[in-house]
């Protein structure tokens, strides 16, 4: 059983592609080998910046011989059919066998495939894998036509057994497979001849190459932690950065330095981001001061001077970068203290979306909505409006221009510097949240108001212009915005009539777009002769009736109908997202449907409270049986109503009750109905559920003892009307007919 070793040696592979490439190499090669009839015991793949390697152990030395029999056409079939069979089998007429079959004589092809040596199969498979490798981006180089992620320099491909190693004969374009590789680019650049995977890994290690990315990452993590510990610092964990850095070198040598004192007052987020993005440094925190005071850079060489020159160089570069950051910080602070007017002005000239106007237009809509939402989330409307107006100003600052990922974080600092209330500053930082399904949701009322307004404006805007997510395409992250709305509403317990909010915001979106349209038309009048331009101007201005935000949909005029439909569609989208959200919390979709069927379903807090209570009740034995009883009542009632063509909704008469069970049900309903009504009014849904669950026993007993459809029509009608009381009692709680099972 030979072992196979493959190495594809190239110029530097992007760090982000290495892990995936190693996995692809393993999958494609082993799949190819197995498909060609070989078996193997185990396989492992590795990547460094300059090589992809694959070790396959216990490969079969050859594929087994295969014999395949295929039945062809009858011997008296038309010539064309026989020719087709010859083509598909690759045999000649003489090579076919004739066998007697029940329906006459037929041709048979017996195809013998002799076993093939592993080397031949490996060469074939690897050739194809190299030519069709699934790099996210690949390139050509020199005069060749081969594609690889960067120029491919050599192919090592050997099979090793007890007798020794043998190079697999393979030539891909100008590259001839061999048994040599090279060590570290600078520390051990000479060629190495290898005979097996163990030999390869050992020789590479001696040549300053750590083959395994996980080992490189661990080495960096451990050494950095030790160096930090020695200074009383701790490394700020960053797994993404660690993986990236491990993909940028073959021999990690961490070096630690201190940040110059003049930069220590920069916000810690700025220090971390600048060091990470520009230089791929890890940040070291001093737990005593809570500040970022040091950095770890990871070199790829063991320099004779112990890394002194490297560290000095990195420190210089860092100082230049942080000087830039300090420059932005100081300039931005100056603008912030001056009230951020220049940034507000600049927003007018930044297009948010061709159909949705400028950033300033958008901020205007968000601010109006934030004010409107404020009372419902417990925020001061003036503060919410102010927060919405400043929340995105930092997008125009120098620092966020340089580091877009600091949006919000800087906004908070600048709002503080402008002397704005803490709640407003916090909203600048937190209004983007939640940024993902697992990310935290803000709780401060002003932040909640702005966060909600931001997301609802985005949703209504794109819904109005029919740019909804489809399938996997969601370029404006509208699903995330919808989930954000849901989580914000639920976690803050905000009682919002979402439908009305959406309709009103659609009014803002539409009204603004219309005004922009008029402005654009007016601006085109200039080249016209004066009298014509004047006439056109009057006509356009006559149509410029601003939308009254309070009257919302009425302002939409002939767009009114569409506005209503769009609002319903967006609400349905939110309901869908809510179902997904609740399902993850263990609430069945039919339970949510039963609740959503009731009026007032745009009050998500009430919907969830009801659905949770209903879901809990359904898990009790009473609940299960109650649903059966309600369904039975409903079925009997519907059948009777269909048959008789009337609705049985008159008050049943207790005096007409014939049995104890009927009387007991009357009594139970007399008790339950006001209890349910009280509980619903108080929004105490668990109490409403207990109240209706109390009907379970009397309903069961009733159906057990009483025949509803008796011959006595008076008694029958009375019983049907009694069933109606059951139905009515349930209707206040949920549409039980939507429950499954």
Q: Which residues bind another protein (CB under 8 A)?
A: 11-12, 14-16, 49, 137, 139-143, 149-151, 153, 185-187, 248-249, 279-281, 297, 299-301, 303-305, 309-310, 312-314, 316-318, 320, 323, 349-351
Tell me the closest approach of the beta carbon of residue 13 to another protein, in angstroms: 8
Beginning with the edge strand found earlier in the chain, give each strand of the sheet holding 253-258 in spatial order.
Answer: 234-235, 282-286, 291-299, 253-258
Are 481 and 458 spatial neighbours (Cβ–Cβ below 8 Å)?
Answer: yes
Nearer to another protein, 346 or 664 (CB): 346
Smallest gap, in angstroms, from Cβ of residue 145 to another protein? 8
Least distance to another protein from the beta carbon of 139, Å? 4
Tell me how far apart the 2 most distant CA atoms of the chain are, in Å: 109
Question: Which CB atom, from 283 or from 297, has the smaller least distance to another protein?
Answer: 297
> How far apart (Å, rounded) are the C-alpha atoms in residues 559 and 502?
15
Phi, psi of 73 (to 5 degrees): -70, 165
DSSP conformation class of 711 = S
**Is the CB of 256 or the CB of 715 nearer to another protein?**
256
Radius of gyration of the chain (CA): 37
Separation between Cα atoms, residue 93 and residue 705, nearest integer Å: 85
Instruction: Identify which of residues 249 and 676 has a Cβ nearer to another protein in the complex.
Output: 249
Q: Which helix (H) or strand (E) holds 118?
A: helix 118-131
Kind plus residue range of the DSSP H or E element containing 352: strand 351-353
Distance of CA 4 to the CA centre of its chain: 39
Least distance (Å) from another protein to the CB of residue 617? 56
Long-range contacts (CB closer than 8 Å, 24 or more residues apart) made by 345-351:
346/396, 347/392, 347/393, 347/395, 347/396, 350/395, 350/396
3-state class (DSSP) for residue 301: coil
Nearer to another protein, 79 or 354 (CB): 354
CB of 92 to another protein, least distance (A): 44
Nearer residue to another protein within complex by CB, 297 or 721: 297
Nearest-approach distance from CB 353 to another protein, in angstroms: 11
Helical segments of 178-307, H only: 197-206, 213-230, 239-246, 268-279
What stretches of 530-620 show up as alpha helix (H) in DSSP? 530-543, 560-583, 589-596, 604-618
**Least CB distance to another protein at residue 40 (A):** 33
Cβ proximity to another protein: between 116 and 150 the closer is: 150
17 versus 687: smaller Cβ distance to another protein:
17
Cβ closest to another protein, residue 187 vs residue 697: 187
Q: Which is nearer to another protein, 176 or 532 (CB)?
A: 176
* Nearest distance in Å: CB 324, another protein: 8
Q: Minimum Å distance from CB 297 to another protein?
A: 6
CA 664/CA 668 separation, integer angstroms: 6
Q: How far is the CB of 276 from another protein (least distance, A)?
A: 12
Closest-CA residue to 394 (of 457, 330, 332, 447)? 332
Question: CB of 344 within 8 A of CB of 393?
Answer: yes
Residue closer to another protein (CB basis): 309 or 561: 309
From the CB of 136, what's the least distance to another protein, in Å?
11
Q: Minimal distance in Å, beta carbon 79 to another protein?
A: 48
CB of 347 to another protein, least distance (A): 11
Q: Which of these, 455, 398, 458, 450, lies nearest to 424 by C-alpha position?
A: 450
Token code pair at residue 305: 């001077």
Nearer to another protein, 116 or 153 (CB): 153
Question: Toward another protein, which CB reaches closer, 281 or 666?
Answer: 281
Instruction: Name the residue nearer to another protein (CB basis): 210 or 453.
Output: 210
> Whole-number minimum distance, CB 142 to another protein, in Å?
4
What are the CA-CA distances from residue 703 to residues 49, 386, 636 (Å)?
76, 62, 11
Contacts of 391 (CB under 8 A, 6+ apart): 366, 408, 411, 427, 428, 431, 450, 454
- Give the span between the Cα atoms of 694 and 529, in whole angstroms: 82
**How many CB atoms sit inside 10 A of residue 143's CB?**
6
Report which of 493, 492, 490 is spatially closest to residue 482, judged by C-alpha positions.
Answer: 490
> Which residue's CB is nearer to another protein, number 139 or number 532?
139
Give the contacts of 721 (CB within 8 A, at least 6 positions apart): 648, 649, 650, 651, 652
Assess whether the previous peptide bond of 342 is cis (omega < 30° from 0): no
Residue 706: other Cβ atoms inside 10 A: 18
Distance CA 617, CA 623 (A): 5
Q: 234 — phi, psi (to 5°)?
A: -135, 145
CB of 366 to another protein, least distance (A): 20
């Amino acid at each position: 059983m030979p072992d196979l070793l493959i190495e594809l040696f190239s110029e530097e592979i992007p760090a982000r592609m290495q892990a995936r490439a190693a996995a692809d190499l393993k999958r494609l090669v082993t799949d190819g080998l197995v498909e060609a009839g070989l078996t193997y015991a185990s396989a492992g793949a590795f990547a460094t910046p300059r090589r992809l390697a694959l070790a396959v152990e216990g490969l079969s030395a050859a594929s087994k011989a295969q014999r395949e029999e295929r039945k062809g056409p009858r011997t008296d079939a038309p010539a064309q059919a026989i020719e087709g069979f010859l083509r598909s089998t690759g045999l000649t007429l003489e090579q076919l066998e004739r066998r007697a079959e029940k329906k006459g004589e037929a041709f048979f092809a017996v195809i013998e495939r002799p076993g093939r040596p592993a080397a031949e199969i490996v060469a074939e498979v690897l050739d194809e894998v190299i030519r069709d490798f699934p790099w996210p981006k690949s390139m050509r180089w020199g005069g060749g036509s081969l594609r690889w992620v960067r120029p491919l320099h050599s192919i090592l491909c050997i099979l090793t057994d007890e007798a020794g190693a043998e190079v697999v004969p393979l030539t891909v374009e100008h590259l001839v497979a061999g048994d040599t590789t090279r060590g570290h680019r600078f520390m051990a650049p000479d060629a190495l001849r290898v005979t097996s995977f163990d030999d390869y890994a050992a020789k590479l290690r001696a040549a300053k190459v750590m083959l395994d990315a996980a080992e490189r990452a661990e080495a960096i993590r451990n050494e950095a932690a030790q160096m930090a510990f020695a200074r009383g610092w701790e490394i700020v964990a960053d797994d993404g950065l660690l993986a990236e850095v491990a993909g940028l070198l073959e021999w990690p040598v961490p070096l630690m330095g201190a940040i110059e004192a003049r930069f220590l007052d920069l916000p810690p987020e700025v220090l971390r981001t600048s060091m990470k993005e520009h230089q791929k440094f890890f940040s070291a925190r001093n737990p005593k001061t809570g500040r970022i005071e040091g950095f770890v850079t990871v070199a790829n060489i063991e320099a004779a001077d112990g890394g002194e020159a490297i560290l000095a160089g990195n420190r210089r570069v860092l100082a230049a970068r942080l000087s830039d950051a300090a420059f932005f910080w100081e300039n931005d602070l100056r603008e912030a203290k001056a009230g951020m007017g220049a940034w507000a002005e600049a927003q007018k000239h930044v297009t948010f979306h061709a159909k949705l106007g400028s950033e300033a237009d958008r901020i205007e809509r968000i601010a109006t909505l934030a004010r409107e939402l404020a009372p419902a989330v417990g925020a001061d409307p003036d503060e919410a409006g102010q927060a919405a107006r400043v929340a995105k100003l930092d997008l125009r600052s120098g620092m966020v221009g340089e580091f877009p990922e600091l949006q919000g974080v800087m906004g908070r600092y600048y709002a503080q510097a402008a002397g704005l209330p803490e709640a407003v500053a916090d909203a600048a930082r937190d209004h983007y949240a939640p940024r993902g399904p697992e990310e935290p949701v803000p709780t401060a009322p002003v932040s909640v108001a702005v966060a909600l307004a931001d997301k609802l404006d985005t949703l209504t805007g794109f819904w109005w212009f029919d740019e909804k997510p489809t399938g996997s395409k969601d370029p404006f992250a509208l699903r995330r915005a919808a989930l954000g709305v849901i989580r914000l509403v639920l976690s803050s317990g905000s009682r919002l009539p979402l439908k009305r909010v959406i309709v009103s915001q659609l009014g803002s979106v539409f009204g603004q777009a219309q005004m922009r349209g008029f402005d654009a038309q007016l601006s085109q009048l200039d080249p016209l002769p004066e009298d014509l331009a004047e006439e056109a101007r009057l006509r356009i201005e006559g149509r410029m009736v601003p939308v009254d935000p309070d009257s919302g949909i009425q302002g939409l005029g002939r767009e009114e109908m569409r506005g209503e439909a769009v609002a319903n569609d967006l609400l349905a989208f939110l309901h869908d997202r809510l179902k997904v959200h609740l399902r993850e919390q263990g609430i069945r979709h039919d339970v949510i449907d039963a609740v959503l069927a009731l009026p007032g379903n745009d009050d998500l807090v009430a919907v969830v409270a009801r659905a949770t209570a209903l879901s809990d009740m359904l898990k009790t034995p009473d609940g299960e049986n109650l649903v059966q009883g309600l369904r039975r009542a409903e079925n009997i009632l519907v059948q009777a109503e269909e048959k008789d063509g009337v609705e049985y909704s008159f008050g049943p008469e207790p005096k007409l009750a014939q049995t104890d069970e009927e009387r007991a049900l009357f009594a139970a309903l007399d008790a339950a109905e006001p209890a349910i009504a009280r509980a619903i009014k108080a929004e105490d849904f668990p109490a409403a559920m207990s109240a209706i669950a109390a009907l379970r026993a009397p309903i069961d007993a009733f159906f057990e003892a009483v025949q509803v459809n008796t011959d006595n029509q008076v008694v029958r009608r009375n019983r049907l009307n009694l069933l109606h009381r059951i139905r009515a009692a349930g209707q206040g709680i949920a549409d039980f007919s939507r429950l499954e099972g």
